[in-house]
Structure 1
């Protein structure tokens, strides 16, 4: 039992990864993975693992990522059976890089994590729309995703022309300008006790060797919610929740929509402004 209160087992996670692979692989393929693993239930706590687990089959693709004192060999979740193998390892959430394995110094995503200080999710939706407007003003196309936790990720695809350090610096400057324009609602203040009720614009996930929760990844929270890409207009829906879709219900949503709202995200990549 991974989610005992919901009767969801590791086999259910394994089956889910097989069923969701067609839409999820678009967003994780060729990206180094950090595994959020659980030896028991999610209630018992887990751990993060960057290095590929011992005994990995030879068909699991990997990539070496440099670090200060050597390298880390990360899994690449490039096919359905690798996603299911990760589930067998107790990996509930595969966190991925914003870079792809062939160019580990050139991100193709900018991620702004809207981290609320209160339970006012309407304010988070408003913040996401403000963020999207500012990205469009910069010539970029925004995409929104509820995280399955408490917030929203606003993601913009970019061409792979700038280094990770440059992208991170741009994201910090973008967040600072946006927070300055809306200082009553948004902040870049790292310390929680200085944020008041404002929403934190977290851009740290854009830094070197950082990872983000990808679309359709389950989260180790009650009812097994999944990170769910949105159509932009869904941000206007007062009934939207950050954990509104689960491992058991996301398939019906995709059927209703006719597929993944982010299926064409790569084609929207723009040049990151200087």
Structure 2
């Protein structure tokens, strides 16, 4: 047996009972999707959304890597007030499968890499709708893309597997977390001012009316974002799925349109990950 072999226990445990999907299916999915997923999680501290029963029974978030985790797993200490938290780095197929063994349905990652945790390399705009109107979300994502391009950045889009879209701009690591957060807040305010009937930066839901929340908080310190190709704890096991930008024009696009059972076929049909060149598109954050 390999020194990195992951022992899978209770593979029959149902995580998505309504869909017949088990812990073994999650483990196998992480192994199969690793080629596409690893470039987007490698060297990024992970916060684990874990489930000891089914996703309907509810889970919990865990930042600290559990005691007894194999020595071969990469990890990094992230400072916090009064100490530090030791996070997992999922840098191999076996590490992803270890997440499956832990019942980690959804890994969430830092938009920064472990060697320079103070310098983000991805700027994330989370478009969170109030209404079930995904056409409006697609239009908002396209507007975000235009605004980022106007400022010299290259946008990428991902349906979240939940209700919204993430628009992501890869960055050269020239600015610190607070600079990136402040810049993204300024961009969000400008977008909301340009589209006052459609977009808002109001944190409180009662102040949003029917508008889409332009959430840039994930660019702040110690914040995480759902990892590309991560399953979600929702019916049918939808997956956070990177898009080709032009897919935002497709009226048939859905935020939860690909699942653990279908996203691998999508990768085969596309000939690989639509975000495979995201790192090469990194630009300095403009001042």
Normalization by structure 1: what TM-score? 1.00
1:220-239 equivalent positions in 2, closer than 5 A: 220-239=233-252
Determine if the alignment matches structure 1 residue 179 to structure 2 residue 192: yes
Render the CA deviation track for 1:41-78: whole Å, top value 9, x for unaligned. Answer: 00000000000011100011100000001000000000
What residue in structure 1 maps to residue 201 of structure 2?
188
Does residue 75 (structure 1) correspond to residue 93 (structure 2)? The answer is no
Structure 2 counterpart SS, 1:58: coil
| Residue 135 of structure 2 is aligned to residue 122 of structure 1 | yes
- The match for 1:27 among 30, 40, 59 is 40
1:46 to 45, 59, 80: 59
Residue in 2 aligned with 1:7?
Answer: 20
**Aligned ranges for residues 159-170 of structure 1 at < 5 Å?**
159-170=172-183
Other-structure match for 1:112? 125
Q: Deviations over 1:65-115 (max 9, x none)?
A: 000010000000000000000110000001000110000000000000000
SS in 2 for 1:2: strand
Deviations 1:223-245 (A, max 9, x none): 00000000000001000000000
Q: 1:198: Cα distance to partner?
A: 0.6
Which residue is equivalent to 1:154? 167
Rounded to whole Å, the distance in 1 between the matches of 2:142 and 2:277 is: 20
Structure 1 residue ranges, 4+ long, deviating more than 3 angstroms after superposition: none
Distance 1:55 1:12 in 2: 24
Matches of 1:61 and 1:269, distance apart in 2: 25
Query: Which residue pairs with 1:265 in the alignment?
Result: 278
Aligned length: 274
- 2: distance between equivalents of 1:6 and 1:185? 35
| Unaligned residue ranges in structure 2 (runs of 5+) | 1-13
Aligned counterpart in structure 2 of residue 207 of structure 1, from 220, 224, 228: 220
SS at match of 1:65: strand
CA distance in 2, matches of 1:144, 1:104: 23
Residue 183 of structure 1 and its aligned partner are, at CA, apart by 0.6
What is the rounded CA distance, in whole Å, between the counterparts of 2:80 and 2:206 in structure 1?
33
Per the TM alignment, residue 221 of structure 1 is displaced from its structure 2 partner at its CA by: 0.3
Residue number in structure 1 paired with 2:10: none
Any stretches of 5+ residues in structure 1 without a counterpart?
none
* CA deviation profile, 1:185-240 (whole Å, cap 9, x unmatched): 10001111111111000000000010001110000000000000000000010000
CA distance in 2, matches of 1:24, 1:177: 33
Q: What is the distance in 2 between the residues matched to 1:55 and 1:138?
A: 47
Normalising to structure 2: TM-score of the pair? 0.95
